[in-house]
Amino acid sequence: MLRSRTLSGVEADLAALRASAERAGVTLACLFASSDEYEADIIRERRASGAFRPRRRWRHHVRLAALACGLALAFLLA
């Protein structure tokens, strides 16, 4: 009787070990076939979060407005 318990305990341990190995294999598996796919996914995620939006050019407009005001003031004072 002692031997059958030991054998069933070993079988249970082996089954648990196989299940753990399967979970570890799935967990460590890479979702991407190549580094190009990984980088493309990173860029896609960053674009979705707004990282690559064009910069606003409000500074350029402010500089042009200041230059126009300065020229108009110089023209009026001269």
40 or 23, higher pLDDT: 40
Q: Please write the tens of the pLDDT for every residue from 7-37.
A: 778 888 888 888 887 777 665 566 777 788 8
* Residue 5 and residue 14 in contact, taking contact as beta carbons nearer than 8 Å: no
CB neighbours (10 Å) of residue 42? 10
User: Is the pLDDT at 46 greater than 60, yes or no?
Assistant: yes
Q: Helices marked H in 29-57 — which ranges? A: 35-49
**Secondary structure element (H or E) that encloses residue 28, with its range:** helix 2-28
* pTM of the predicted protein model: 0.35
